[in-house]
Amino acid sequence: MGKTLFDKIWDAHVVQAIPDGPTQLYIDRLYCHEVTTPQAFDTIREKGCGVLRPERVVAMPDHNTQSDCADRIDDPVGRKQVETLEKNCREFGIRCFGLGSPDNGIIHVVGPEKGLSLPGMTIVCGDSHTSTHGAIGAIAMGIGTSEVAQVLASQCILQRKPKTMRINIEGELGKGVTAKDVALYIMAQMTTSGATGYAVEYAGRVIRNMSMEGRLTLSNLSIEMGSRAGLIAPDETTFAYLKGREYAPKGADWDVAVRQWSQLRSDDDAVFDKEVTYYADDIAPRITYGTNPGAGIAVDGWVPTYESVSEQEREQLKVQLDYMQFKPGQKLEGTPIDWCFLGACTNGRIEDFRAFASVVQGRRKAPGVTAWLVPGSWAVRKQIIEEGLDKVLEEAGFELRLPSCSACLAMNPDKVPAGKLCISTSNRNFVGRQGPGARTVLASPLTVAASAVTGVITDPRKLL
């Protein structure tokens, strides 16, 4: 029997396996940000064990950084977290892309764009959206603080091997349908717990034709359906994206690496624990109506009615709709919005800004709509300016802000006020995620752009 892509990478990193217990897995790359790591550094300091392989660790602040300034953090708690991260990195000799550095940005955007995340790697970070890096063809998992300490001290982690699932997306995406819509569609079909206990490999024609930025978006959202990791086999699209990146192999080493990476695919006779197939013809631009990413519909669809769901689901649906101020059976297209947000580790890359600009060009931001357009890294912001997209945005009434996690989560000044409705390219629409009492509708950059210029939730196909 052949091996899956996940099995190949996992097996190559096993140090030792405990019968009926966890596996000691070697980790190629540990990413650290300011929120989840202080206690981990305190642990290794208390144990006196130090950092085993600091060259395998990369750190940067992102959650608390502000999108309105590059050199300060006003919140004292956030400022303390960033200062502590940079102090720990100096003490243990860890590379840190600090506040204001041109290398800084959201850690899950910077890692791939610098070639720090590479095919065949095992990658961990104390952040749930570490699954993003799986798009490169790596096993990438979010871990807890105590596990971060394990990796700092030993470059290994104790993990139980998950089951494997392959999700095939066949066909060709229609006009206005993006990787974000594919992800939101899968979550609606699978539910937010449908992949719990699995590592998911994405495959099929849609995936093969998807850009690297789109693949990163799809893998980013794997965690939102409970998956442990989300992988995509590396191919020519992957190699073209990585070639010439700062930390990617160069010269003869590049040629050797590509030959090795080309073997990273599931064997034809590999058997997955579960396999499902979806079709592009069934996927339209999507929006969410509830308070979890799986509560979604087509942008021109209707909110479920109580009669359309099971008795067990009715109370949950009622709670979500009461919070979102929506009604069962309501069509959300045409609903007025207050805020829009383009950014996050889900959709803060250059392709996302190109898509947004393509819709707003020649149009104007709707009166009364507040817009935060936040690149995922300083490199992305630089490219936006080099391509003249900033001028397109400015002429349409939008302001390009500075790299930050920004309004993805309420840990910096970019908070949506209570009761206000924000259409967002971020990854979570939980209660209070974008600010206490804020209401969030998740969508693609195209849908957010269309809504930003009309002032209401809008099907982007009508403006393309």
Beta strands in 102-204 (DSSP E): 122-125, 139-142, 156-159, 163-170, 198-203
What does the DSSP 8-state code read for residue 346?
A: H
Residues in the chain: 464
Look at the chain and report how many structural domains it folds into.
2
Judge whether 279 lies within some domain: no
Among 274, 309, 333, identify where a domain stops: 274
Cα 352 to chain center, whole Å?
Answer: 13
In which residue are the tokens 């509708």 written?
441
Q: Choose the final residue of a domain: 215, 239, 274.
A: 274
Q: Is the pTM of this model over 0.95?
A: yes
280 in any annotated domain? no
Inside any domain, residue 281: no
From first to last of the 464 residues of the chain, give the pLDDT tens digit.
899 999 999 999 999 998 889 999 999 999 999 999 999 999 999 999 999 999 999 999 999 999 999 989 999 999 999 999 999 999 999 999 999 899 999 999 999 999 999 999 999 999 999 999 999 999 999 999 999 999 999 999 999 999 999 999 999 999 999 999 999 999 999 999 999 999 999 999 999 999 999 999 999 999 999 999 999 999 999 999 999 999 999 999 999 999 999 999 999 999 999 999 999 999 999 999 999 999 999 999 999 999 999 998 999 999 999 999 999 999 999 999 999 999 999 999 999 999 999 999 999 999 999 999 999 999 999 999 999 999 999 999 999 999 999 999 999 999 999 999 999 999 999 999 999 999 999 999 999 999 999 999 999 999 99
| Residue 187 included in any domain | yes
| Residues spanned by the domain of 310 | 287-462
Asked, for residue 37, whether it belongs to a domain, the answer is yes
- How would you class 192 by CB atoms within 10 Å of its CB: exposed for 0-12, middle for 13-18, buried for 19 or more? middle
Residue with tokens 């590396």: 234
- List the beta bridge partners of residue 440: 422
Nearest to 13 by CA among 124, 143, 107: 124
Are 319 and 306 in contact, with CB atoms under 8 Å apart? no
Phi, psi of 329 (to 5 degrees): 80, 0
Is 223 a member of any domain?
yes
Note whether 232 and 378 are same-domain residues: no
Choose one of 207, 239, 274: the last residue of a domain: 274
Residues 169 and 82 in one domain: yes
Q: Which of 393, 391, 387 is nearest to 342 (CA)?
A: 393
Let me know whether 270 and 304 are in one domain. no
Q: Residue 1 has what pLDDT?
A: 84
User: Is there a single domain that holds both residue 213 and residue 117?
Assistant: yes
Whether residue 197 sits in one domain with residue 344: no
Residue 41's region, left for phi above 0, alpha for psi from -120 to 50, else beta, is alpha
Identify the H or E element spanning 150.
helix 145-154
DSSP letter assigned to residue 130:
G
**60 touches 110 (CB < 8 A):** yes
Which ranges of 191-310 would DSSP assign to H, the alpha helix?
Answer: 205-208, 212-220, 236-242, 251-261
Q: What is the DSSP string of 67-110?
A: SS-SS---SHHHHHHHHHHHHHHHHHT-EE--TT-TT-B-HHHH
Whole-number CA gyration radius for the chain: 21
Tokens matching residue 151: 């990796």
**Structural contact between residues 172 and 259, judged by C-beta atoms closer than 8 angstroms:** no
Residues 247 and 197 in one domain: yes
Check if the beta carbon of residue 165 is closer than 8 Å to that of residue 195: yes
> Do 112 and 196 fall within a single domain?
yes
Backbone angles phi, psi at 65, to 5 degrees: -65, 150
Residue 20 lies in a domain: yes
Whichever domain contains 438, its CATH number is 3.30.499.10
Q: Do both 323 and 252 map to the same domain?
A: no
Whether 130 and 111 have beta carbons less than 8 Å apart is answered as no
CA distance 262 to 357: 35
Residues 413 and 349 in one domain: yes
In the block, which residue shows the tokens 């993805």?
A: 408
Integer Cα distance of 297 and 285 in angstroms: 9
Tell me, what's the pLDDT at 294?
96
Q: Are residues 356 and 238 in the same domain?
A: no
User: Is the domain of 206 the same as that of 268?
Assistant: yes
**What 8-state DSSP symbol labels residue 161?**
P
Q: Would 448 be classed as within a structural domain? A: yes
Q: Residues 291, 270: one domain?
A: no
Distance CA 37, CA 85 (A): 7
Residue 161: predicted pLDDT: 96
**C-alpha to C-alpha distances, 199 to 33, 51, 138, 328, nearest whole angstrom:** 24, 29, 11, 34
- Cα separation, 237 vs 47, whole angstroms: 44
- The owner of tokens 């009364």 is 368
Task: Find out whether 45 and 92 touch, Cβ atoms under 8 Å.
Answer: no
